[in-house]
Amino acid sequence: MPRYDQLLCPGPAGLYCPPGDFHIDPVRAVDRAVITHGHADHARAGHGKVLATRETLAIMEARYGEDYAGATQVLKYREAVTHKGVTVSLVPAGHVLGSAQAVVTWKGTTMVVSGDYKRRRDPTCAPFEPVPCDVFISEATFGLPVFRHPPDGDEIAKLLKSVAQFPERSHLIGAYALGKAQRLICLLREAGYDKTIYVHGALEKLNALYESFGVDLGPLSPATSSKKQDFAGAVIVAPPAATQDRWSRRFPDPVVCFASGWMRVRARARQGGVELPLILSDHADWDELTATARELKPDELWITHGEEEALLRWAALNGQTARALSLVGYDANEGET
Protein backbone atom coordinates (compact mmCIF):
# COMPACT_ATOMS: atom_id res chain seq x y z
CA MET A 1 0.00 0.00 0.00
CA PRO A 2 1.42 3.38 -0.98
CA ARG A 3 1.33 6.34 1.37
CA TYR A 4 -1.78 8.43 0.72
CA ASP A 5 0.11 11.57 -0.15
CA GLN A 6 1.89 9.66 -2.92
CA LEU A 7 -1.50 9.54 -4.67
CA LEU A 8 -2.80 13.05 -3.88
CA CYS A 9 -0.97 15.94 -2.30
CA PRO A 10 -1.32 19.70 -2.05
CA GLY A 11 0.83 21.60 -4.51
CA PRO A 12 1.23 25.23 -5.53
CA ALA A 13 -1.58 24.93 -8.10
CA GLY A 14 -3.87 22.93 -5.80
CA LEU A 15 -4.47 19.26 -5.20
CA TYR A 16 -2.09 17.20 -7.38
CA CYS A 17 -1.88 13.53 -8.34
CA PRO A 18 1.80 12.66 -9.05
CA PRO A 19 1.31 9.16 -10.60
CA GLY A 20 -1.48 10.40 -12.88
CA ASP A 21 0.11 13.82 -13.44
CA PHE A 22 -3.12 15.78 -13.11
CA HIS A 23 -4.68 18.33 -10.73
CA ILE A 24 -8.13 18.43 -9.20
CA ASP A 25 -9.77 21.90 -9.25
CA PRO A 26 -6.44 23.69 -9.73
CA VAL A 27 -6.36 27.38 -8.88
CA ARG A 28 -4.14 28.24 -11.83
CA ALA A 29 -3.76 26.97 -15.38
CA VAL A 30 -2.27 23.43 -15.60
CA ASP A 31 -1.86 20.77 -18.29
CA ARG A 32 -4.45 18.33 -16.98
CA ALA A 33 -7.32 19.11 -14.68
CA VAL A 34 -10.24 17.22 -13.20
CA ILE A 35 -12.97 19.73 -12.39
CA THR A 36 -15.56 18.84 -9.74
CA HIS A 37 -18.05 21.64 -10.47
CA GLY A 38 -18.53 24.94 -12.26
CA HIS A 39 -18.07 27.53 -9.47
CA ALA A 40 -15.36 29.97 -10.46
CA ASP A 41 -12.96 29.14 -7.64
CA HIS A 42 -12.96 25.45 -8.68
CA ALA A 43 -13.34 25.76 -12.45
CA ARG A 44 -10.85 28.15 -14.01
CA ALA A 45 -10.17 28.83 -17.65
CA GLY A 46 -6.94 28.06 -19.49
CA HIS A 47 -6.15 24.42 -18.65
CA GLY A 48 -4.65 22.15 -21.33
CA LYS A 49 -7.04 19.24 -20.84
CA VAL A 50 -10.17 19.21 -18.70
CA LEU A 51 -12.10 16.18 -17.49
CA ALA A 52 -15.55 16.89 -16.04
CA THR A 53 -19.23 16.11 -16.32
CA ARG A 54 -21.10 17.32 -19.39
CA GLU A 55 -22.98 19.88 -17.26
CA THR A 56 -19.81 21.27 -15.71
CA LEU A 57 -18.17 21.63 -19.11
CA ALA A 58 -21.26 23.42 -20.42
CA ILE A 59 -21.16 25.79 -17.43
CA MET A 60 -17.49 26.54 -18.06
CA GLU A 61 -18.18 27.24 -21.70
CA ALA A 62 -21.11 29.52 -20.83
CA ARG A 63 -18.92 31.51 -18.46
CA TYR A 64 -15.57 31.59 -20.22
CA GLY A 65 -16.45 31.17 -23.88
CA GLU A 66 -15.56 28.39 -26.30
CA ASP A 67 -11.80 28.58 -25.81
CA TYR A 68 -11.86 27.95 -22.07
CA ALA A 69 -9.63 24.86 -22.36
CA GLY A 70 -7.27 23.22 -24.85
CA ALA A 71 -9.26 20.00 -24.91
CA THR A 72 -12.14 18.56 -22.93
CA GLN A 73 -13.35 15.11 -22.02
CA VAL A 74 -16.83 14.31 -20.78
CA LEU A 75 -17.16 11.76 -18.05
CA LYS A 76 -20.59 10.48 -17.11
CA TYR A 77 -21.41 9.93 -13.47
CA ARG A 78 -19.93 6.63 -12.19
CA GLU A 79 -18.04 6.00 -15.45
CA ALA A 80 -14.32 5.33 -14.97
CA VAL A 81 -11.33 6.46 -16.95
CA THR A 82 -7.78 5.22 -16.36
CA HIS A 83 -4.73 7.34 -16.98
CA LYS A 84 -1.17 6.14 -16.20
CA GLY A 85 -2.60 3.49 -13.92
CA VAL A 86 -4.77 5.90 -11.95
CA THR A 87 -8.51 5.39 -12.26
CA VAL A 88 -10.77 8.42 -12.00
CA SER A 89 -14.55 8.49 -11.79
CA LEU A 90 -17.08 11.18 -11.00
CA VAL A 91 -19.93 10.61 -8.54
CA PRO A 92 -22.75 13.10 -7.75
CA ALA A 93 -21.94 15.57 -4.96
CA GLY A 94 -25.36 17.23 -4.69
CA HIS A 95 -23.85 20.73 -4.72
CA VAL A 96 -24.98 22.28 -8.04
CA LEU A 97 -25.93 21.01 -11.50
CA GLY A 98 -23.18 18.67 -12.72
CA SER A 99 -21.23 18.75 -9.46
CA ALA A 100 -19.22 15.65 -8.69
CA GLN A 101 -16.91 14.05 -6.21
CA ALA A 102 -13.69 12.90 -7.82
CA VAL A 103 -12.96 9.26 -6.95
CA VAL A 104 -9.28 8.44 -7.50
CA THR A 105 -8.02 4.83 -7.25
CA TRP A 106 -4.44 3.61 -7.56
CA LYS A 107 -2.82 0.35 -6.45
CA GLY A 108 -5.79 -0.59 -4.29
CA THR A 109 -6.09 2.78 -2.58
CA THR A 110 -9.22 4.91 -3.08
CA MET A 111 -9.36 8.61 -2.29
CA VAL A 112 -12.48 10.72 -2.71
CA VAL A 113 -12.30 14.46 -3.27
CA SER A 114 -15.69 15.77 -2.24
CA GLY A 115 -15.38 19.08 -4.02
CA ASP A 116 -18.23 21.07 -2.51
CA TYR A 117 -21.18 18.95 -1.42
CA LYS A 118 -24.40 18.80 0.50
CA ARG A 119 -26.58 15.93 1.68
CA ARG A 120 -30.05 17.41 1.53
CA ARG A 121 -32.36 17.23 -1.45
CA ASP A 122 -31.92 19.70 -4.30
CA PRO A 123 -34.41 19.70 -7.21
CA THR A 124 -31.73 21.03 -9.58
CA CYS A 125 -29.09 18.34 -9.27
CA ALA A 126 -28.38 14.68 -8.56
CA PRO A 127 -28.08 13.76 -4.87
CA PHE A 128 -24.76 13.06 -3.15
CA GLU A 129 -23.69 9.42 -3.25
CA PRO A 130 -21.38 8.13 -0.53
CA VAL A 131 -18.40 6.17 -1.87
CA PRO A 132 -16.40 3.90 0.47
CA CYS A 133 -12.81 5.12 0.52
CA ASP A 134 -9.51 5.15 2.37
CA VAL A 135 -9.28 8.94 2.41
CA PHE A 136 -12.17 11.35 2.22
CA ILE A 137 -11.16 14.90 1.38
CA SER A 138 -13.98 16.98 2.76
CA GLU A 139 -14.83 20.61 2.29
CA ALA A 140 -15.43 22.54 5.52
CA THR A 141 -17.12 25.78 4.47
CA PHE A 142 -19.62 25.48 7.31
CA GLY A 143 -17.38 23.45 9.58
CA LEU A 144 -18.55 24.93 12.86
CA PRO A 145 -21.25 23.42 15.07
CA VAL A 146 -23.27 26.64 14.95
CA PHE A 147 -24.03 25.98 11.29
CA ARG A 148 -27.03 23.72 11.14
CA HIS A 149 -29.15 24.77 8.20
CA PRO A 150 -32.89 24.70 8.87
CA PRO A 151 -35.22 22.82 6.48
CA ASP A 152 -35.50 24.57 3.07
CA GLY A 153 -39.27 24.56 3.34
CA ASP A 154 -39.20 26.78 6.44
CA GLU A 155 -37.07 29.37 4.70
CA ILE A 156 -39.24 29.44 1.59
CA ALA A 157 -42.33 29.76 3.80
CA LYS A 158 -40.69 32.70 5.57
CA LEU A 159 -40.12 34.38 2.20
CA LEU A 160 -43.63 33.75 0.91
CA LYS A 161 -45.15 35.03 4.13
CA SER A 162 -43.23 38.27 3.80
CA VAL A 163 -44.29 38.60 0.15
CA ALA A 164 -47.93 38.29 1.23
CA GLN A 165 -47.48 40.60 4.21
CA PHE A 166 -45.90 43.46 2.24
CA PRO A 167 -47.67 43.47 -1.14
CA GLU A 168 -46.59 47.05 -1.91
CA ARG A 169 -42.90 46.22 -1.64
CA SER A 170 -40.71 44.06 -3.84
CA HIS A 171 -38.57 41.22 -2.53
CA LEU A 172 -35.07 41.45 -3.90
CA ILE A 173 -33.18 38.23 -3.24
CA GLY A 174 -29.43 38.00 -3.50
CA ALA A 175 -28.46 34.49 -4.65
CA TYR A 176 -25.27 33.17 -6.23
CA ALA A 177 -25.68 33.07 -9.97
CA LEU A 178 -24.74 29.42 -10.39
CA GLY A 179 -26.81 26.94 -8.44
CA LYS A 180 -28.36 28.93 -5.61
CA ALA A 181 -30.46 31.12 -7.89
CA GLN A 182 -31.90 28.18 -9.79
CA ARG A 183 -32.46 26.11 -6.68
CA LEU A 184 -34.24 29.00 -5.00
CA ILE A 185 -36.50 29.46 -8.02
CA CYS A 186 -37.27 25.72 -8.10
CA LEU A 187 -38.07 25.68 -4.39
CA LEU A 188 -40.43 28.63 -4.86
CA ARG A 189 -42.15 26.73 -7.69
CA GLU A 190 -42.47 23.63 -5.54
CA ALA A 191 -44.09 25.76 -2.85
CA GLY A 192 -46.73 26.78 -5.37
CA TYR A 193 -45.41 30.22 -6.34
CA ASP A 194 -46.33 30.37 -10.01
CA LYS A 195 -46.06 34.09 -10.78
CA THR A 196 -43.35 35.51 -13.01
CA ILE A 197 -40.02 35.75 -11.19
CA TYR A 198 -37.84 38.65 -12.30
CA VAL A 199 -34.14 38.02 -12.79
CA HIS A 200 -31.01 40.11 -13.09
CA GLY A 201 -29.26 39.94 -16.48
CA ALA A 202 -26.26 38.14 -14.95
CA LEU A 203 -28.45 35.09 -14.27
CA GLU A 204 -30.02 34.70 -17.68
CA LYS A 205 -27.35 32.58 -19.33
CA LEU A 206 -27.14 30.11 -16.46
CA ASN A 207 -30.91 29.93 -16.10
CA ALA A 208 -31.14 29.01 -19.78
CA LEU A 209 -28.40 26.45 -19.33
CA TYR A 210 -30.22 24.81 -16.40
CA GLU A 211 -33.40 24.69 -18.45
CA SER A 212 -31.55 23.07 -21.36
CA PHE A 213 -30.58 20.31 -18.91
CA GLY A 214 -34.24 19.79 -18.02
CA VAL A 215 -34.57 21.94 -14.90
CA ASP A 216 -37.91 23.74 -15.22
CA LEU A 217 -37.77 27.24 -13.72
CA GLY A 218 -41.28 28.40 -14.67
CA PRO A 219 -42.06 31.89 -15.98
CA LEU A 220 -39.06 34.23 -15.76
CA SER A 221 -38.64 37.75 -17.01
CA PRO A 222 -35.73 40.21 -17.10
CA ALA A 223 -35.96 42.75 -14.28
CA THR A 224 -36.18 45.72 -16.58
CA SER A 225 -39.13 48.08 -16.58
CA SER A 226 -39.55 51.79 -16.62
CA LYS A 227 -42.17 51.88 -13.91
CA LYS A 228 -41.31 51.14 -10.30
CA GLN A 229 -44.84 50.07 -9.51
CA ASP A 230 -44.52 47.16 -11.93
CA PHE A 231 -42.38 45.50 -9.29
CA ALA A 232 -44.70 45.99 -6.32
CA GLY A 233 -45.29 42.56 -4.84
CA ALA A 234 -42.72 41.01 -7.17
CA VAL A 235 -39.95 38.54 -6.41
CA ILE A 236 -36.63 39.45 -8.01
CA VAL A 237 -33.50 37.29 -7.99
CA ALA A 238 -30.09 38.87 -8.50
CA PRO A 239 -26.43 38.18 -7.71
CA PRO A 240 -25.75 39.30 -4.09
CA ALA A 241 -23.66 42.33 -5.02
CA ALA A 242 -26.44 43.73 -7.21
CA THR A 243 -28.84 44.01 -4.27
CA GLN A 244 -26.72 46.80 -2.79
CA ASP A 245 -25.91 48.31 -6.13
CA ARG A 246 -27.45 51.28 -7.91
CA TRP A 247 -29.13 48.73 -10.14
CA SER A 248 -31.57 47.95 -7.31
CA ARG A 249 -33.04 51.46 -7.29
CA ARG A 250 -35.62 50.49 -9.87
CA PHE A 251 -37.55 48.54 -7.25
CA PRO A 252 -40.10 50.03 -4.83
CA ASP A 253 -38.85 49.94 -1.24
CA PRO A 254 -37.29 46.50 -1.66
CA VAL A 255 -37.08 43.96 1.13
CA VAL A 256 -33.46 42.94 0.67
CA CYS A 257 -33.09 39.16 1.11
CA PHE A 258 -29.99 37.02 0.85
CA ALA A 259 -30.10 33.26 0.33
CA SER A 260 -26.97 31.86 1.96
CA GLY A 261 -25.82 29.57 4.74
CA TRP A 262 -23.98 32.53 6.23
CA MET A 263 -27.34 34.07 7.08
CA ARG A 264 -27.47 31.72 10.05
CA VAL A 265 -25.31 34.22 11.91
CA ARG A 266 -27.16 37.47 12.60
CA ALA A 267 -24.15 39.74 12.51
CA ARG A 268 -23.41 38.53 8.97
CA ALA A 269 -26.91 39.43 7.83
CA ARG A 270 -26.79 42.82 9.52
CA GLN A 271 -23.41 43.73 8.02
CA GLY A 272 -24.83 43.08 4.60
CA GLY A 273 -27.87 45.28 5.18
CA VAL A 274 -30.12 42.24 4.78
CA GLU A 275 -33.68 42.61 6.01
CA LEU A 276 -34.83 39.07 5.34
CA PRO A 277 -32.08 36.47 5.70
CA LEU A 278 -32.84 33.13 4.02
CA ILE A 279 -30.71 30.33 5.36
CA LEU A 280 -30.32 28.32 2.20
CA SER A 281 -27.00 26.72 1.46
CA ASP A 282 -25.49 24.45 -1.18
CA HIS A 283 -22.84 23.30 1.27
CA ALA A 284 -23.02 20.60 3.90
CA ASP A 285 -23.74 21.97 7.36
CA TRP A 286 -22.01 20.73 10.51
CA ASP A 287 -24.39 17.82 10.96
CA GLU A 288 -23.99 16.73 7.34
CA LEU A 289 -20.20 17.04 7.47
CA THR A 290 -19.91 14.97 10.62
CA ALA A 291 -22.58 12.45 9.59
CA THR A 292 -20.78 11.90 6.27
CA ALA A 293 -17.45 11.31 7.99
CA ARG A 294 -19.17 8.89 10.39
CA GLU A 295 -20.88 7.07 7.55
CA LEU A 296 -17.77 6.69 5.40
CA LYS A 297 -15.37 6.01 8.27
CA PRO A 298 -12.34 6.65 6.07
CA ASP A 299 -8.93 5.62 7.27
CA GLU A 300 -8.08 9.32 7.09
CA LEU A 301 -10.24 12.43 6.86
CA TRP A 302 -8.60 15.33 5.07
CA ILE A 303 -10.18 18.72 5.56
CA THR A 304 -9.92 21.63 3.18
CA HIS A 305 -11.23 25.12 2.47
CA GLY A 306 -13.20 26.41 5.38
CA GLU A 307 -13.32 26.06 9.12
CA GLU A 308 -10.83 23.25 9.48
CA GLU A 309 -10.04 23.65 13.14
CA ALA A 310 -13.43 22.66 14.54
CA LEU A 311 -13.69 19.58 12.34
CA LEU A 312 -10.20 18.52 13.42
CA ARG A 313 -11.35 18.83 17.03
CA TRP A 314 -14.47 16.80 16.25
CA ALA A 315 -12.33 14.12 14.61
CA ALA A 316 -10.05 13.97 17.65
CA LEU A 317 -13.05 13.60 19.96
CA ASN A 318 -14.45 10.83 17.78
CA GLY A 319 -11.30 8.82 17.18
CA GLN A 320 -11.11 9.76 13.51
CA THR A 321 -7.65 10.32 12.04
CA ALA A 322 -7.71 13.67 10.32
CA ARG A 323 -5.48 16.35 8.87
CA ALA A 324 -6.03 19.83 7.48
CA LEU A 325 -4.93 20.41 3.92
CA SER A 326 -3.80 23.95 3.49
CA LEU A 327 -5.02 24.68 0.00
CA VAL A 328 -5.13 28.29 -0.95
CA GLY A 329 -7.24 30.07 -3.49
CA TYR A 330 -10.71 28.88 -2.56
CA ASP A 331 -13.28 31.44 -1.65
CA ALA A 332 -14.68 31.12 1.87
CA ASN A 333 -17.75 33.00 0.76
CA GLU A 334 -19.60 30.00 -0.51
CA GLY A 335 -18.23 29.31 -3.93
CA GLU A 336 -18.74 32.53 -5.70
CA THR A 337 -19.80 36.05 -5.22
Binding region for other proteins (CB under 8 A): 144-148, 150, 158, 162, 165-166, 243-249, 253-256, 264-267, 269-277, 307, 309-310, 313-314, 317
CB of 243 to other proteins, least distance (A): 8
- Among 63, 94, 60, 61, which residue's Cα sits nearest to residue 77? 94
CB of 188 to other proteins, least distance (A): 19
State which residue, 26 or 306, has the beta carbon closest to other proteins: 306
State which residue, 54 or 148, has the beta carbon closest to other proteins: 148
State which residue, 135 or 303, has the beta carbon closest to other proteins: 303
Q: How far apart are the C-alpha atoms of 48 and 33, rounded to whole Å?
A: 8
State which residue, 10 or 145, has the beta carbon closest to other proteins: 145
Torsion 19-22-23-29 (CA) sign? positive
Cβ proximity of 42 and 116 under 8 Å: yes
CB of 160 to other proteins, least distance (A): 13
Torsion angles phi and psi, residue 180, rounded to 5 = -65, -45
CB of 253 to other proteins, least distance (A): 5
**Amino acid letter, residue 155:** E
State which residue, 17 or 274, has the beta carbon closest to other proteins: 274
Strand order in the sheet with 32-34: 9-11, 14-17, 22-24, 32-34, 47-52, 69-74
State which residue, 25 or 307, has the beta carbon closest to other proteins: 307
Torsion 308-309-315-316 (CA) sign? positive
CB of 158 to other proteins, least distance (A): 8
Beta bridge pairs of residue 141: none
Residue 289 burial (10 A CB sphere; 0-12, 13-18, 19+):
buried
- Coil, helix or strand at residue 288: helix
CB of 240 to other proteins, least distance (A): 13
How far, rounded to the nearest angstrom, does the alpha carbon of residue 12 sit from its chain's CA centroid? 23
Q: How far apart are the C-alpha atoms of 71 and 35, rounded to whole Å?
A: 13
CB of 318 to other proteins, least distance (A): 10
CB of 249 to other proteins, least distance (A): 5
CB of 176 to other proteins, least distance (A): 19
State which residue, 18 or 145, has the beta carbon closest to other proteins: 145
**What are the contacts of 261-269 at 24+ separation with CB within 8 A?**
261/141, 261/142, 261/147, 261/149, 261/285, 261/334, 262/333, 262/334, 264/146, 264/147, 264/148, 264/149, 265/146
State which residue, 297 or 313, has the beta carbon closest to other proteins: 313
State which residue, 99 or 243, has the beta carbon closest to other proteins: 243
**Amino acid letter, residue 3:** R
Q: How far apart are the C-alpha atoms of 173 and 259, rounded to whole Å?
A: 7
